[in-house]
Structure 1
Amino acid sequence: MAASVSELLREIAELEEPLEELRSLKTAVYSLPLTALRDLAVGLRFGVLFALIDNSDDREQIDTSVAILDRLLQALDPVYLAQNFRVELQKGLQHSDDNVKILAISQIGRIVENTDAVPIILSSPELLKEMIHSIGGKKISVAKEAIKSLSRVSQSKAGLDALFMTNMLQDLKDVMATNDVVRYRVYELVVEISSVSPVSLDYCGNSGLITQLLSELTGDDVLIRATAIEMVTGLAQSQHGRQYLAQQGIIDRISNMIIGAESDPFSGFYLPNLVKFFGNLAMVDSPQQICERYPAFIEKVFEMIEGQEPTMIGVGLDTIGILGSCVEGKQVLHKTGRNFQEVLRRLGSISCNASTDLRVRCLDTIASLLSLPNDQQTEDLLAMTETWFHTLHSHPMETFCNMSSQPFPEIHIGALKIFTAIASQPWGQRLMISTPGFVEYIVDRSAEPDKPSKDAKFELVKTLVDSKTTAEIFGNQHYLQLRAYLREGPYFVKAIATVAVDGE
């Protein structure tokens, strides 16, 4: 088969219409493992295939040639690829056909993943320039790969110098001028590079591109403002990024934007992203510090949940769920006292009466709020989660039991998640054992119609078995049933014995 690959390439080089032979070659190269192609590919006449791409308008011929090249180039070592195919890859990025561009950018992606091959790319300014211009292309997949590759190139000082200390920086700025969409693709690249290290951030800061991004936070176009906030949220994921934003006064500015949103009729376009910014900030930094320093954030989240706008409610639910997923966040929420009690009652209402999407998100939020790892179950925290549970509904166990028997899979699983959240806590176990029929429901596999439901039920059983208090609270008989369920797995089906009858 290896010999036939070389022979077919020779035949193709001599034919004016080689489509049939190209199809055969495609079959041949895909029938061989990459290990077998590795030695073969080094000696092949790739120029034949690249010429077919460059000099043809035939759709199938181009696509077939691209498929063959993709397979053969995958077999080449990245360093060899960089040394011998820089010109072809550059021409590929300039090609009018998107599949050819994707082929070129994917192979460049392989090269920049190899630290020994990156310097070869850096010595090819024209190739770097084409990668930058690919960010402005119509095909989003090409642009994304270009961003990824340039970000990888920038993980060395030499790469940072090549992008930000040469005329490549002007190329970046020229590409940004294409339109709003492309400008934000460049911002995406800058944020990715900045997140790597303080040194990377310094390069991006000195380029003026971050300053330009930050200036768009208060621009006249509310949609652009929303996108800018999303980009700045990415910048806040690293500690050095957060320090930079704090030093520049950006976090205070975003807090003031939340306060000012009250008087802005168009704030609905960007307010969710403002709240997401602080939600992310609280989780990567400190929920207590963020909520205490920027009280407008938590007040706005409560307000969103109490309101009637579905989009705002959803963002509020997700944010409370993120905050309440850790003990420090739970304590911050608990400190708000009566305000959070009102939010809990609102969560209870949403879980029963809203659209299916909001009900599911609400159930996930409730499960996040109520969860408490075994090693953090102090008396105070257990009392807190128990109080929260009973604040949700007048009869919470009955309410969630009814949900767990509903035919809607998402609601059914959401209720199971809440039971799992309280299953490791003694008060939750006491509620379960005192609820008629609940233990029987837990060990009844027939109650779960599909795989996700069976998996959710199994997670509940596992949580109960792993708890040190379950055996005492549930009693030995029920505990042994749960252990048997866990041992048999989520999909166990009992064999039904059949008895042969004479004459049948």
Structure 2
Amino acid sequence: MAAPIERLLSEICESEEPIEELKNLRTAVFATPVSGLREAVSGARLEIIFGLLNTNDKEQIEVCVEILNRVLQALEPIQLAQNYKPALQSGLNHPDDSVKVLTLAQIGRVVGHADGVTQILNSAEILCDVIHCISVERIAVAKEAIAALGKLSHTKAGLDALFRSDLLNKLKDVMTTSDIIRYRVYELIVEVSTASPVSLGYCANSSLISQLLEELTGDDVLVRATAIEMVTNLAQSQHGRQYLSQQGIMEKISNMIIAAESDPFSSLYLPGLVKFFGSLAIMDSPQQVCEKYPIFLEMVFTMALNLDPTLAPVALDTLGILGGTVEGKQVLHKTGEKFTSVLKRISTVASDGATELRVRCLDALAQLLTLPVEQQTDDLLLLTESWFNCLSSQPMAMIQNISTQPFPELHCSALRIFTAIGCQPWGQQLMMDTPGFVEWVMDRSVGTGKEAKDCKYELVGVLLSSSSTQRIFGGENYLKLKTYLKEGPYNVTAVSSVTTEGAD
């Protein structure tokens, strides 16, 4: 394919209005495997295509971008850096955002390459232009710029260039553009900081992290909410959590939750505060976090009991995540009646609330009740059984009733609760003691959508994963379940028909 591509490039070069020739070239490069393009473009004059980007013709730009997106994949990053540096710099300053996105993606490839990054580090102008792209209105351009700078910071030389040169001042200048742009830079700083303790050190010394942390208690509640999200991302790494702890951020956020009770605008940022501690609890220890910052769990309970539409989702998700771990279950159990009240409230809303909130409640209950076979002890089995019995005077009937309602999402969420208790002996016994339940499980006509069939199949799989199933369900039911599993979720039983001669 090398010859046709060379020929098409020559035709484009000779044409005054090359749009048709460009379309032919586009067809040719997309018909050629990337491995074949490598040979084709090695001697090709790609500057021709780069040059044709300098037009106001939107269609021509679009076709050129599609060609370059395909063809440049065939070039090694070092070839790009050595042979097309002027074209890359021109692309960063192109008025069309699609050209900027293309260029930034290629620069990202270059700076992610051991030899290519050196070439870019010697071009301060290109790096300045990449930083400027963070302030472009279109988010796709900014995302590519942040990604490229993030890759650049994976090397010490890249970190030195970004944080120990005039580029840092360029970064700080860009931040002054607007609140939105400032937070894009924070996004970059957080991404770099989470990579390693060394990277975090560079960012901390730049003063940009301390600036972000100051925004936590700013006057603008929307800015505050965004800052909390950024800090939560910073806490994803162990060294990030250690740094935040040293800066007293956990205590600051705990105090913000306390103060939120008297702030009429707290619903705008309170979910973020709760998510922060929820994330912290899962990564470190639910018990330690809940004991050290008791206001966190108190607020989750309050939000779950009130079920304010803006606050309830994060409370339910947090309870589900916490209760999905053994340690989290024990922490919740220790609160006694407080958590029992929350369970009853969730159960009530799951039965008669708004559909979206009902699904959220059912999913949280499924996580709370899940107890894999390898985690099952007598104490934990008693705990999950007591939680299930809290839900209603007849919890099996309640959940089964929800599963029969004409809403696929409710049907599947209810099935997930049965799946959660399906490998626990007490749950299996309840299923056997509920008239018609086992037949209902194996009835393929219940729940006709793909997701419903998948959920039913998962329930059968969980039942068969337990060593107590055969004893509790009996040999005949056990064999039926095995047959169901073997046939798969979408099996359709053939129905034969007999025609009688002379019948109407």
Aligned residue in 2 for 1:426: 425
Aligned residue in 1 for 2:386: 387
* Offset of residue 426 of structure 1: 0.3
Task: Give distance in 2, aligned partners of 1:119 and 1:285.
Answer: 39
Q: Map of 1:395-410 to 2, 5 A cutoff?
A: 395-410=394-409
Task: Give distance in 1, aligned partners of 2:176 and 2:74.
Answer: 38
The letter for the 1-side match of 2:456 is: K
| Cα deviations by residue, 1:445-470 (Å, 9 ceiling, x for unpaired) | 11121111110011000000010100
Where 1:195 maps in the other structure, the secondary structure is: helix
* Offset of residue 125 of structure 1: 1.5
Aligned residue in 1 for 2:291: 292
Q: Are the equivalent residues in 1 in contact too, given 2:419–2:459 (CA < 8 A)?
A: yes
Instruction: Find out whether 1:268 has 2:285 as its counterpart.
Output: no
Aligned residue in 1 for 2:303: 304
Aligned residue in 2 for 1:167: 166
Aligned residue in 2 for 1:21: 21
Instruction: Find out whether 1:342 has 2:320 as its counterpart.
Output: no
* Offset of residue 502 of structure 1: 7.1
The letter for the 1-side match of 2:301 is: F
Deviating runs (4+, > 3 A) in structure 1?
A: 497-504
* Offset of residue 67 of structure 1: 1.2
Task: Give distance in 2, aligned partners of 1:360 and 1:291.
Answer: 26
Aligned residue in 2 for 1:152: 151
Moved more, 188-197 or 86-95: 86-95
Q: Map of 1:7-156 to 2, 5 A cutoff?
A: 7-54=7-54, 56-156=55-155
* Offset of residue 500 of structure 1: 7.0
Task: Give distance in 2, aligned partners of 1:206 and 1:110.
Answer: 28
Moved more, 455-464 or 349-358: 349-358
* Offset of residue 285 of structure 1: 0.8
Aligned residue in 1 for 2:205: 206
Task: Give distance in 1, aligned partners of 2:363 and 2:197.
Answer: 36
* Offset of residue 35 of structure 1: 1.3
The letter for the 2-side match of 1:40 is: A
Instruction: Find out whether 1:330 has 2:319 as its counterpart.
Output: no
Aligned residue in 2 for 1:259: 258
Task: Give distance in 1, aligned partners of 2:126 and 2:354.
Answer: 51
Aligned residue in 2 for 1:219: 218
| Cα deviations by residue, 1:371-428 (Å, 9 ceiling, x for unpaired) | 0011111111000000000101111100001111111000000000000000010000
| Cα deviations by residue, 1:352-373 (Å, 9 ceiling, x for unpaired) | 1221111111100000000001
| Cα deviations by residue, 1:212-268 (Å, 9 ceiling, x for unpaired) | 000000100010001001100001111111111111011100000000111111111
Task: Give distance in 1, aligned partners of 2:500 and 2:36.
Answer: 60
* Offset of residue 61 of structure 1: 1.2
Aligned residue in 2 for 1:495: 494
Task: Give distance in 1, aligned partners of 2:156 and 2:502.
Answer: 86
Q: Are the equivalent residues in 1 in contact too, given 2:411–2:447 (CA < 8 A)?
A: no
* Offset of residue 116 of structure 1: 3.4
The letter for the 1-side match of 2:177 is: T
| Cα deviations by residue, 1:163-188 (Å, 9 ceiling, x for unpaired) | 00111100110111110001000000
Aligned residue in 1 for 2:5: 5
* Offset of residue 499 of structure 1: 5.0
The letter for the 1-side match of 2:202 is: Y
Task: Give distance in 1, aligned partners of 2:93 and 2:4.
Answer: 32
* Offset of residue 118 of structure 1: 2.2
Where 1:160 maps in the other structure, the secondary structure is: helix
Task: Give distance in 2, aligned partners of 1:33 and 1:502.
Answer: 62
* Offset of residue 117 of structure 1: 2.2
The letter for the 2-side match of 1:492 is: N
Aligned residue in 1 for 2:357: 358
The letter for the 1-side match of 2:363 is: D
Where 1:228 maps in the other structure, the secondary structure is: helix
Aligned residue in 1 for 2:279: 280
Task: Give distance in 1, aligned partners of 2:62 and 2:330.
Answer: 59
Question: Kindly tell me: are residues 257 and 9 of structure 1, through their superposed partners in 2, closer, same or farther at Cα, counting changes over 3 Å?
Answer: same
Aligned residue in 2 for 1:471: 470
Where 2:195 maps in the other structure, the secondary structure is: coil
Task: Give distance in 1, aligned partners of 2:53 and 2:164.
Answer: 35
The letter for the 2-side match of 1:359 is: R
The letter for the 2-side match of 1:30 is: F
Task: Give distance in 2, aligned partners of 1:255 and 1:388.
Answer: 29
The letter for the 2-side match of 1:86 is: K
Q: Which runs of 5+ in 2 are unaligned?
A: none
CA RMSD of aligned residues (A): 1.4
Q: Are the equivalent residues in 1 in contact too, given 2:53–2:64 (CA < 8 A)?
A: yes
The letter for the 1-side match of 2:243 is: Y
Task: Give distance in 2, aligned partners of 1:346 and 1:111.
Answer: 55
Aligned residue in 2 for 1:245: 244
The letter for the 2-side match of 1:147 is: I
* Offset of residue 302 of structure 1: 0.3
The letter for the 2-side match of 1:469 is: S
Task: Give distance in 1, aligned partners of 2:487 and 2:10.
Answer: 61
* Offset of residue 8 of structure 1: 1.4
Q: Are the equivalent residues in 1 in contact too, given 2:304–2:342 (CA < 8 A)?
A: yes
* Offset of residue 308 of structure 1: 4.3
The letter for the 1-side match of 2:451 is: P
Aligned residue in 1 for 2:183: 184
Task: Give distance in 2, aligned partners of 1:503 and 1:104.
Answer: 77
Alignment length (residue pairs): 503
Task: Give distance in 1, aligned partners of 2:441 and 2:108.
Answer: 50
* Offset of residue 120 of structure 1: 2.1
Q: Are the equivalent residues in 1 in contact too, given 2:461–2:485 (CA < 8 A)?
A: yes
Aligned residue in 2 for 1:375: 374
Where 2:445 maps in the other structure, the secondary structure is: helix
Aligned residue in 1 for 2:459: 460
Task: Give distance in 2, aligned partners of 1:311 and 1:266.
Answer: 12
TM-score normalised by the chain length of structure 1: 0.98
Task: Give distance in 1, aligned partners of 2:110 and 2:373.
Answer: 47
